[in-house]
Structure 1
């Protein structure tokens, strides 16, 4: 009872302090809000929406169940999750945050995952997508295409390590023990696909409409969190809280032979991944290796903004947030260690590769398309967002009218 009251008081004080800060720094709050809004409607919304819609339809048509049956022999021994976890993992890698959490929650609602399996799965299926790592971070912030290979390799290797560690989390329910011994075949997978489709029984038009509305509702929630944490990050800086925390972090970094100037970018990255990565790239007192290690930690930890998005999605189910948070800490440290280990065999080997002076970097050609695609999304992102939201309003208007007609 006392802890509950203490929590109520703490939350009330924090919200009141935030409200007073918004009143005290209106211009700075507006700048933070605009920055978060630009990030959402230019990049996040147009890049995530197609993945969300297609994934919802794949789940409805039974394709995910089909993939799950085929991948069961791989995912179960390696990560102690059902084969459908392979789909969630792949979509999380391709589309980025918070896709893994959304699809995990969706499969948990359908009963395809137990709570323990869902908590294992969500801990390692949320990651930065390649477009963000190569296009925004390596080329956009560091102006170094080759660095993207190091950051991506460290990020996804640490992702796998988190999954392997989290396989030891929790106890499996006894009903799952028989499933682990089964050997599924292609015919069984096709049968599962057909049965899932029959069970869903929604017309294609209804399925598509539900996929669009569900995806847009999730992305609207994501946009709210991005804007909120962008404002909070701005206020923390102007309230000198970032500097105060930076001094504490600076002592820890100095003990690890890192420049204490990296403390402010690290603090910013703990709150918001994009700003932290950008500030890290701008630091002039650090070596590229040191900045790469800090950036890898930020990418692995993902930032409290992303974690708040995931927490909001998981709150709609019985999946607990703590395993996900623990996984983010693990991935941050794993990614930093892998960056240090792979620096010489990966980055320096690519960087020192001899080539004609008038040629493009050998390994840089592979990421040029990601930079072009990223810039294209930023350019046409607002138009895509506005048109999609207009389509969303039309669907809602149509459904409300249809319900009113049925009632009358």
Structure 2
């Protein structure tokens, strides 16, 4: 009874707190209109030149592939990997790949689609959303690696650390989850047949024609990105006001806490980073930790898309903290040994012209899409190979016949 009363009190005070925060923010904007306007323009430019063109194709593709049944057929193949390692349904495998290659909020969008189709419970949707919550390779490779650090190799290393620490955080979180009480008996049907049946059943449940599916996919993707744009612009204003109100506080702290892109820019600017792997190791640790945390802005974007599934903030934030901690530790362990790679700079992303500004270097997102598609294809092949190994091992231990 006492606990339920506390919950009701907290639920009743939440609207009052949010209303008070909105009033304070409005007053701060009125008192500092010029700074607020410049910050909103900065957030708008970041969203329009980077986030929108980078994520739109992936979000449309995710909607169409989920409705067509491809996700569920692919999930049958990866089911041993997802069920044994992350304790999630096999259909979650495509959402994990989507989150790793397209970033947030694509992972949350894919999770919401699976929950809407009935492939995930609310608890599984929360766990999958936390697992598939990654920064986009566009952000890590192009914005941070090229524009901020002037080193594609640094971007690749940060991306590998980001992926590894995120999967490790997801695996750690899965250890605290109970296994399902009952599991279906192994099927005697061939693997390709089970994949085809799963895809056919998912497509039948969806029932939309191609024309309707294409139109609704575009509309849903644009709506998701409009929500993301609103969050980015608002948090850019909040960060600007906090920095102005608390001059003794390092600008990198509120920026990294609230919004990833602005936080990465503040960390690299404060460190005076030259783009060399011999640069400030503490700055790289903070940058890697900020990528794992992703910012409250990105977490709220994901929760907005997952509102029908009832996903809560605290479990999501806990996995984000774990991801941030693992990323910081991995950076401390591997950054210095990888300094030798600086001499063998990866040729995929050429060194930018020193005369270009960071803003100019982040406006070529559309031309980078072939590289991002190749990254997604490489990741899918790796997942296929790993899942095939797990599947063969599982068949050897538990023959279907």
TM-score bracket, normalised by the shorter chain, equals: 0.7 to 0.9
Paired with 1:281 and 1:40, the residues of 2 have a C-alpha distance of: 20
Which runs of structure 2 are paired with 1:201-350 in the superposition (5 Å)?
Answer: 201-240=207-246, 243=247, 246=249, 263-284=250-271, 287-346=279-338, 348-350=339-341
How far apart are residue 154 of structure 1 and its match?
A: 1.2
Alignment root-mean-square deviation, CA: 2.4
Which runs of structure 2 are paired with 1:82-231 in the superposition (5 Å)?
Answer: 82-174=89-181, 177-179=182-184, 185-231=191-237
Pair 1:17–1:65, CA change in 2 (3 A): same
SS at match of 1:192: helix
Pair 1:270–1:191, CA change in 2 (3 A): same
How far apart are residue 145 of structure 1 and its match?
A: 2.2
2:350 to 357, 368, 381: 368
Pair 1:291–1:180, CA change in 2 (3 A): farther
Summarize deviations over 1:21-49 as a string: whole Å, max 9, x none. 11111111111111111111111111111
Pair 1:3–1:167, CA change in 2 (3 A): closer
How far apart are residue 58 of structure 1 and its match?
A: 0.5
Work out whether residues 233 and 268 of structure 1, in 8 Å CA contact, stay in contact via their aligned partners in 2: yes
Paired with 2:72 and 2:148, the residues of 1 have a C-alpha distance of: 40
SS at match of 1:202: coil
SS at match of 1:378: coil
Pair 1:134–1:106, CA change in 2 (3 A): same
Aligned residue pair count: 349
Work out whether residues 75 and 92 of structure 2, in 8 Å CA contact, stay in contact via their aligned partners in 1: yes
Pair 1:180–1:84, CA change in 2 (3 A): farther
Work out whether residues 52 and 225 of structure 2, in 8 Å CA contact, stay in contact via their aligned partners in 1: yes
State the partner residue of 2:50. Answer: 43
Return the structure number with greater helix share.
1
Work out whether residues 40 and 236 of structure 2, in 8 Å CA contact, stay in contact via their aligned partners in 1: yes
SS at match of 1:316: helix
Paired with 1:51 and 1:59, the residues of 2 have a C-alpha distance of: 12
State the partner residue of 1:388. Answer: none
How far apart are residue 213 of structure 1 and its match?
A: 0.9
Paired with 2:74 and 2:290, the residues of 1 have a C-alpha distance of: 32
Paired with 1:14 and 1:376, the residues of 2 have a C-alpha distance of: 36
Summarize deviations over 1:111-142 as a string: whole Å, max 9, x none. 11122222221112111122211111011011
**Which sections of structure 2, spanning at least 5 residues, go unmatched?**
1-7, 274-278, 367-401
TM-score using structure 2 length: 0.81
How far apart are residue 67 of structure 1 and its match?
A: 0.5
SS at match of 2:183: helix
Paired with 1:281 and 1:87, the residues of 2 have a C-alpha distance of: 33
SS at match of 2:316: helix
Summarize deviations over 1:80-107 as a string: whole Å, max 9, x none. 0111121011111111111111111110
Work out whether residues 116 and 170 of structure 1, in 8 Å CA contact, stay in contact via their aligned partners in 2: no
SS at match of 2:309: coil
TM-score using structure 1 length: 0.80
Summarize deviations over 1:386-408 as a string: whole Å, max 9, x none. xxxxxxxxxxxxxxxxxxxxxxx
How far apart are residue 367 of structure 1 and its match?
A: 2.8
Paired with 2:163 and 2:70, the residues of 1 have a C-alpha distance of: 25
SS at match of 1:143: coil
How far apart are residue 238 of structure 1 and its match?
A: 1.5
How far apart are residue 15 of structure 1 and its match?
A: 1.2
Pair 1:82–1:26, CA change in 2 (3 A): same
Pair 1:370–1:225, CA change in 2 (3 A): farther
Paired with 1:376 and 1:345, the residues of 2 have a C-alpha distance of: 29
State the partner residue of 2:385. Answer: none
Paired with 1:83 and 1:25, the residues of 2 have a C-alpha distance of: 51
